[in-house]
């Protein structure tokens, strides 16, 4: 009997698909770039304006939601950089984290947890930014964005970068789930 090489679609413990690894690398690079941009923009967002009661300073560190935003984006940035390094190595070795069942589960679980943390950080910062921009009349909270417009614009830019990072990381999660499905033994 002849021995035929195992194709990509046949069940087995190890599979390689170069297009999936390349897309995985690109998504990791975009995730790292977007989270780095979000952290850099929010860290620079400080504005002081004169008011009749004295100078008013708007800073990211005065809001716990923005502190969580910076922390979550920094963690996802570190994870994305490490994931990018692993994805680069897989391009050379032809075996990536999505080629083995155990590492595919770990990648899926990590991607899923960090995408949830990233969306949590983005949504809490968005809630604070929304109240800062529009105020809350029933609670007698006035909008502060008319006074500190540059600060609000920088926060808005950081939120857009965070949403882009979330989309890229969510696509990585879907790719990991797809790899797990492909690695699972299928009954004929």
Domain extent, residue 170, equals 18-45+60-182
**59 - beta bridge partners?**
46
Which of 16, 171, 156 lies closest to 80 in space, CA to CA? 171
What count of residues does the chain have?
A: 188
Give the mean pLDDT of the chain: 83
pLDDT at position 9: 45
| Position 22 in a domain | yes
User: pLDDT tens-digit profile of 59-74?
Assistant: 888 899 999 999 999 9
| Position 176 in a domain | yes
- In the chain, how many domains are there? 1
| Position 13 in a domain | no
Distance (Å, rounded) from C-alpha 170 to C-alpha 164?
10
| Position 4 in a domain | no
User: pLDDT tens-digit profile of 121-154?
Assistant: 999 999 999 988 888 888 878 888 888 889 999 9
pLDDT at position 18: 61
**48 - beta bridge partners?**
57
| Position 50 in a domain | no
Matching residue, tokens 């790899």 = 179
pLDDT at position 105: 82
Distance (Å, rounded) from C-alpha 168 to C-alpha 32?
9
Average pLDDT over residues 9-25: 61
Is the pTM of the predicted complex or chain greater than 0.85?
no
| Position 3 in a domain | no
Which of residues 141 and 7 earns the better pLDDT score? 141
3-state secondary structure of 92: helix
User: pLDDT tens-digit profile of 19-59?
Assistant: 677 788 899 999 999 999 999 999 998 888 888 888 888 88
pLDDT at position 8: 43
| Position 77 in a domain | yes
| Position 146 in a domain | yes
Contacts of 152 (CB under 8 A, 6+ apart): 129, 132, 133, 144, 145
Structure tokens at 23: 């897309």
Model confidence at 10, pLDDT cuts 50, 70, 90, reads: very low
pLDDT over threshold 90, residue 96: no
């Amino acid at each position: 009997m002849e021995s035929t090489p195992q194709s990509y679609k046949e069940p087995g413990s190890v599979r390689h698909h170069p297009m999936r690894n390349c897309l995985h690398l690109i998504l990791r690079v975009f995730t790292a770039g977007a989270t780095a941009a979000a952290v850099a923009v929010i860290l620079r967002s400080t504005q002081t304006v004169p008011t009749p009661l004295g100078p008013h300073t708007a800073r990211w560190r005065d809001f716990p939601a923005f502190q969580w935003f910076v922390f979550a984006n920094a963690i996802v940035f570190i994870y994305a950089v490490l994931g990018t390094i692993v994805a680069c190595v897989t391009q050379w070795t032809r075996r990536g984290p999505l080629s083995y069942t155990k590492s595919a589960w770990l990648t899926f679980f990590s991607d899923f947890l960090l995408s949830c943390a990233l969306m949590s950080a983005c949504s809490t910062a968005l809630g604070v930014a929304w109240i800062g921009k529009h105020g809350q009349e029933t609670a007698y909270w006035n909008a502060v964005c008319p006074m500190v417009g540059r600060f609000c614009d920088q926060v808005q830019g950081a939120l857009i970068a965070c949403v882009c990072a979330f989309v890229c990381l969510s696509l990585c999660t879907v790719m990991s789930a797809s790899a797990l499905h492909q690695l699972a033994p299928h009954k004929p």
